[in-house]
Amino acid sequence: MRPARALLLAAALLLPAGCERESAAPTVTAAARAARADQSTAGWNSHELRTLRSLALARLPPPPPSPGNRHADAPLARALGARLFTDTRLSANGRISCASCHQPDRHFSDGLPRARGIATLSRHTPSLLGVAWSPWQFWDGRADSLWAQAAQPLHNAREQGLSAARLLSVLEQHYRGPYEQLFGPLPARLAGADDELRLFSNAGKALEAYERQLRPQPSRFDDYLASLDQHHPGTVLNSSELHGLRLFMGRGQCLRCHFGPLLSNHGFHNTGLASRSDGVPDAGRDTGLALLLADPLNCQGRFHDSQPATCPQLHHVRRHAPEWLGAFKVPSLRGVAATAPYMHDGRFATLEAVVQHYVRAPNPDGDHGHTELRPLTLDAGEQQSLADFLKTL
């Protein structure tokens, strides 16, 4: 036997039994391979898949540091904050707490068009889920930390209306132990504005420690994303919801502002709603910046625990920029189906109404400030599909 033939025979004997049958099978065409790939990824291309995966709640990192609050991640502060959050004694009338507006069973919102404390406020109660990841607080961004935000409703006359003297009394009678372990001795009396602000800021820091732990839970949308990674998308979303997701990713232009695991860029935009539903203009971020810079609890203030604080977010903001007039913070879309009504003044009762507003896009110069919206070309069926998708979040 010739050496070459011997080598070929040996190689044939070493082949697994199935190889001969495989070589005899019909060649898999490029179209068939594409069909298999299309089935395993539900028709999304590689760029779309990367974008989709960037929206997964599993991608949400731990809460960012809170340099102004040295107790932000302390278990004792978290426990104290949880108790303060539901304590109605921290109000002028003894009936209002943080949880009155931020109700856990309503995704930490309240279901009302506008918040109702001691009086009815001018804006809707936003959800607190995921609030620790936002660098700005309130619809107008007038607080640059979660603890500074938490302190404001306590003493706001229209919200909880709490005086510093009453706060001191409640802390002395009910919270002295944990408060003093965290912040040092309570003052025997309040000697002036500094003592009062210190008391409110410390209460805010305990509340922040609790609120930092509030994060949204996975939704059907996350189940769908997980099914893509497992290559069996199946029927997690129905056809209308899937069509709505494609519109969300494309012609709906939603990703311009709603991206990342919390589906928000945490920025400020004018969407043509600067005049409230009662017709009163609301300057939004333009006024919020002025309030922020005047706030003694801001990053540059003496109650910030990291001194000297660098505060780059304050150094680089532009006052009275045209884009701030009538601009409001982009909310997270996580749990959005459970936080109706919508927008900063709660004017829209349904997600369908919100989508219709974005499709119509009011006159760019017809309201307070200059809206960024431009009309969308979505028919009635597409609008419903987009709303159906939003409900999966």
Q: Is the pLDDT of residue 366 over 60?
A: no
| Average of per-residue pLDDT across 163-176 | 98
Overall fold of domain 239-284+325-390: Cytochrome Bc1 Complex; Chain D, domain 2 (1.10.760)
Give the pLDDT band (50/70/90) at residue 231: confident
Q: So what's the pLDDT on residue 38?
A: 45
> For 121-140, what is the mean pLDDT?
97
Q: 340 and 268 in contact (C-beta within 8 Å)?
A: no
pLDDT, one tens digit per residue, over 48-74 is 999 999 999 999 999 999 999 999 999
Q: Contact, 194 vs 296, CB < 8 A?
A: no
Q: What's the length of the chain?
A: 393
| Six token digits for residue 389 | 């998708």
Cα 231 to Cα 43, 44, 49: the distances in Å are: 11, 12, 12
Q: Where are the domains of the chain?
A: 75-211, 239-284+325-390
> Band of the pLDDT at 320, cuts 50, 70, 90?
confident
pLDDT, tens digit, 9 for 90 and up, residues 343-357: 999 999 999 999 999
pTM: 0.87
Q: Any residues with CB less than 8 A from the CB of 53 and at least 6 apart, and which?
A: 59, 225, 228, 229
Task: Confirm if 140 and 288 have CB atoms less than 8 A apart.
Answer: yes
- Please tell me if the domain spanning 75-211 has the same topology as the one spanning 239-284+325-390: yes
pLDDT in tens, 356-365: 999 998 765 5
Task: Report the half-sphere exposure of 252 (CA within 13 A, side-chain side).
Answer: 25
- Cα 2 to chain centroid, rounded: 75
CATH superfamily of 75-211: Cytochrome c-like domain (1.10.760.10)
As a whole number of angstroms, the distance between CA 354 and CA 341 comes to: 10
Average pLDDT, the chain: 88
- Residue-wise pLDDT for 173-224, tens only, equals 999 999 999 999 999 999 999 999 999 999 999 999 999 999 999 999 999 9
Residue 180's SS3 state is helix
Q: What tens digit of pLDDT does each residue of 240-287 get? A: 999 999 999 999 999 999 999 999 999 999 998 876 556 678 899 999
Select from 221, 223, 230 the least CA-distant residue to 263. Answer: 221
CB-based contacts of 376: which residues, under 8 Å, 6+ apart?
Answer: 251, 252, 253, 358, 359, 361
Q: What is the pLDDT of residue 99?
A: 98
